[in-house]
Amino acid sequence: MTSTPYSPKIIVCESDGAAAAIVADLYADLLRDKPAAVLGLATGGTPTATYREFVRRYQQGDVSFARASSFNLDEYVGLSADHPQSFCYFMRQHLFDHVDLSADRANVPSGDAIDADAEARRYEEAIASSGGIDLQLLGIGHNGHIAFNEPGSARNSRTRVVDLTDETIRNNARFFDSIDQVPTTAITMGVGTILEARRIVLLATGADKSEAVAAAAEGSVSEAVPASLLRHHSEVTFVLDRAAASGLRSATG
């Protein structure tokens, strides 16, 4: 795949807390302009500080999710919404149980659907019927994955069932009692699904993400680094702390 005209806007923050505040500002501004906005959300270690910031602002009366809806990126196949390691449980614990987002508009793929492929198709259609995602939050994997789109994922891929790489399984084992408990497949929004969001914000913190961030922002645009495919989109912002930005040739503050 050849290069494209777009470069992500890059915001480098002094700390991970400052990066979380910037992302929270983007969502708060969106919700003020468009209270019924469709929010794209992520799980993982990176966004937890952002969700703490959402909850704090909600409790202070600065932001309301009452008319909003949300779509999470992904869910493990085989885990029910009540499983403590499911992404649905994570979202309730970190955000949904603490703000006024209506439970029936807080969407996460059903990991325990009898037919996971059908669930993936249903999810893709639900995103389209909602009018599409206004602002999608992403993290980035060490291998450049976005959501569970591992290296080799097609630029036009849609929500589907995928196999997780050994590296991703090893990384995610920290959330489980043992590596054997980490599911090996997941339902994930596709790269093409993500690229249809009106705006995208990729949040990365910590030196261990610096290589993946540099490859995504400045390397070749290639399915080998799924996050680099975000450069097919004109409205992408990378919000980084100094450590995550340390591999960039051209970081601006």
Binding site residues, ligand F6R, CB under 6 A: 42-46, 73-74, 139-141, 145-148
Asked whether the beta carbons of 226 and 140 are under 8 A apart, the reply is: no
Residue closer to ligand F6R by CB (options 74, 134) is: 74
For residue 103, the minimal CB distance to ligand F6R (Å) is: 19
Catalytic residue among 16, 134, 150, 241: 150
Alpha-helix runs per DSSP H in 60-158: 87-94, 116-129
Residue closer to ligand F6R by CB (options 67, 196) is: 196
Q: Which residues contact 5 (CB under 8 A, 6 or more apart)?
A: none
Q: Which residue is nearest to ligand F6R (CB)?
A: 139
CB contact burial 127-150 (16+ within 10 A = b; e otherwise): beebeebbbbbbbbbebbbbbbbb
Tokens matching residue 223: 């399915």
Catalytic residue among 143, 149, 171, 172: 143
For residue 76, the minimal CB distance to ligand F6R (Å) is: 10
Catalytic residue among 145, 171, 233, 241: 145
Catalytic residue among 74, 75, 119, 134: 74
Sign of CA dihedral 24, 131, 110, 199: negative
Q: Which residues contact 34 (CB under 8 A, 6 or more apart)?
A: 134
For residue 16, indicate whether it is catalytic. Answer: no
Residue closer to ligand F6R by CB (options 67, 167) is: 167
Q: CA 186, CA 228: separation in Å to the nearest integer? A: 22
Q: For residue 149, give the nearest of 204, 61, 226 by alpha carbon.
A: 226
For residue 75, indicate whether it is catalytic. Answer: no
Q: CA 106, CA 101: separation in Å to the nearest integer? A: 7
For residue 44, the minimal CB distance to ligand F6R (Å) is: 3
For residue 232, indicate whether it is catalytic. Answer: no
Coil, helix or strand at residue 70: strand
For residue 118, the minimal CB distance to ligand F6R (Å) is: 21
For residue 237, the minimal CB distance to ligand F6R (Å) is: 16
For residue 150, indicate whether it is catalytic. Answer: yes
Tokens matching residue 68: 């909003």
Residue closer to ligand F6R by CB (options 26, 64) is: 26
Residue closer to ligand F6R by CB (options 206, 219) is: 206
**Residue positions annotated with a catalytic role:** 74, 143, 145, 150
